[in-house]
Structure 1
Amino acid sequence: MNQRVKGKNIIITGASGGIGEQMALKVAENGGNVALIARRLHLLENLKQTIEADYQTTVKIYQLDVAQYDEIPGVFTTIMDDFGEVHGLINNAGFGIFKEAHEAPFSVVKGMFEVNVLGLIACTGELLPHMRRQGFGHIINIASQAGKFATPKSSAYSASKHAVLGYTNSLRMEASRYGVQVTAVNPGPIATDFFSIADESGTYAKNVGKWMLNPHLVAEKVVNSLFTNRREINLPVWMNAGSVIYQLFPSFVEKVGNKLFFKK
């Protein structure tokens, strides 16, 4: 059991499925208490039942669409009342679409930024003053390798994750003065239902299926990093190496990899 996590109170957004669900299970396995946020209440109720049956921890669920900014303060106030203090926040809620820029409906692009960026910022803003006052806490923002390495058919999604990384990097420097740690998580494609929305054609999942990350592994890496001074988690290693090369030699990578990038 991870003693750093045991007894800590952790909020996880987007907890009804995918790595959000797996992170909730992993926190509970390590003795942490969880406040789980998502739009789909029935899935949260199922997850709550599973955690309560398997682990001796506190789990409470809260229905919230993080794009509904007016509702965030009330939900976070309720969480603070329920738990007394909160030690960790994992901003995981998010979605993406894989379409060329001229094909992506503006309403969907707007919704992506509302959830991926503004919802994340709003949730962080509600909890950060509390963490500063208590002089301790850890904020983990789930970004993406797409935020470091833009490719065709992901212009809006990549832009949203670039924004998350910019916000996270600035926040890290500000929060460190108050004992609050901030970590960015940049995974490549994960084998979850994310792609049922992101890629309706199924082409991307088919082409990169053998390279997709296991959601259990990603969740374990994230939870194991809680309350450590970890700047970033980059998965998989080979994809992050590609991101580094892209930052050093962008023109070369764009020219050589152009055809491959369009496979999604």
Structure 2
Amino acid sequence: MKTALVTGASSGLGKEIATILAMAGYRLVIVGRNADSLNDVKQLTDTYNQQSTEMIIADLSQKEDVMKLVEKIEQLEQLDVTVNCAGYGLFKPYDELDYDQTEQMFRVNVFQLMALSQASANKMLKQQSGHIINVASIAGKIATPKTAVYSATKSAVISYSNALRLELADSPVKVSVINPGPIQTNFFKVADNSGEYEKSVQMIMLDATKLAKESVRLLTHYKRELNRPYIMHAAHLIYTVFPTVSDFLTVKLFNKK
């Protein structure tokens, strides 16, 4: 039986990916900070799988918890898939985010992901198989007003994953990046509690279950990147070719957070 580790599994996209992996027969190790929510996911995934889901309560902003998870990866008999889905955002003007908030976002969105990707890659190289899927964001490609730090963290995830993919190119270990736009989850309750941004992007909101299915499909139909929705992927291509015009339009369209 194949084994998959999923962080950020207590809600949102992580929960949906964990559920679909369980339905596909994977033994799961799920990681989250909220014990009650994570236990609910365990109960759900256990109904699809004869092998009981293992849950690990961890605050991935804390180095100690990250290092314990690194040790767990090293101790696993086998690790076939790692999905780094844990992350969050705060949508505020650049001058309203203090140093601690900035550091915290980088700890959760970037530093722990790098540590777990490194540990997973080492494990997978030893067994000569495996797939790392890192969840970034289209914000890592198209920065918008009031996402200076969040976009920077996701750009870092994309760059790290791209470099890791190149370093593993001669091995059987694969690396994919998922770059979603806004997803219909609780993400915006933290990112923008005014609700204004969520209203402004309602028309392009992604369905978490559908995106999770596409994400898990990368395990059998490999792609280096999954960019959704298509309209924002197209916008990134236009942004690359016409950056000055795109800056103007981005300010007009997305300065609503």
Which category describes the TM-score, using the shorter chain as reference length? Answer: over 0.9
Note the alpha carbon deviations across 1:18-45, whole angstroms, 9 max, x for none: 0000001000111111100111122111
In the alignment, is residue 67 of structure 1 matched against residue 56 of structure 2? no
Contact 1:146 1:188 in 2 (8 A): yes
Match of 1:44 in 2: 38
**Residue correspondence of structure 1 range 15-164 to structure 2 within 5 A:** 15-78=9-72, 81=75, 83-164=76-157
Note the alpha carbon deviations across 1:145-191, whole angstroms, 9 max, x for none: 00001111111100000111110100001112221100010000000
Q: CA deviation at 1:72?
A: 2.5
* Stretch moving more, 147-156 or 205-214: 205-214
Amino acid at match of 1:236: P
Q: CA deviation at 1:254?
A: 0.9
Match of 2:166 in 1: 173
Q: CA deviation at 1:229?
A: 2.9
Inter-partner Cα distance in structure 2 for 1:236 and 1:115: 24
Note the alpha carbon deviations across 1:99-131, whole angstroms, 9 max, x for none: 110112221111100010001001112222111
Match of 1:183 in 2: 176
Contact 1:144 1:186 in 2 (8 A): yes
Structure 2 unmatched ranges of 5 or more: none
Contact 1:28 1:57 in 2 (8 A): no
Count of aligned positions: 257
Amino acid at match of 2:57: Q
Q: CA deviation at 1:56?
A: 2.8
Inter-partner Cα distance in structure 1 for 2:105 and 2:208: 22
Contact 1:145 1:187 in 2 (8 A): yes
Match of 1:221 in 2: 214
Contact 2:144 2:250 in 1 (8 A): no
Match of 2:238 in 1: 245
What's the Cα RMSD here? 1.4
Q: Give the SS at the match of 1:35.
A: strand
Q: CA deviation at 1:195?
A: 0.3
Match of 2:4 in 1: 10
Contact 1:137 1:227 in 2 (8 A): no
Q: Alignment identity in percent?
A: 37
Contact 2:73 2:123 in 1 (8 A): no
Note the alpha carbon deviations across 1:240-263, whole angstroms, 9 max, x for none: 000111011111111234211212
Amino acid at match of 2:122: P
Contact 2:18 2:28 in 1 (8 A): yes
Contact 1:183 1:230 in 2 (8 A): yes
Inter-partner Cα distance in structure 2 for 1:257 and 1:163: 21
Contact 1:12 1:20 in 2 (8 A): yes
Contact 2:2 2:27 in 1 (8 A): yes
Inter-partner Cα distance in structure 2 for 1:167 and 1:244: 21
Q: CA deviation at 1:66?
A: 1.7
Contact 1:69 1:122 in 2 (8 A): no
Q: CA deviation at 1:68?
A: 1.7
Inter-partner Cα distance in structure 2 for 1:179 and 1:126: 16
**Runs of 4+ in structure 1 displaced over 4 angstroms?**
none
* Stretch moving more, 50-59 or 144-153: 50-59
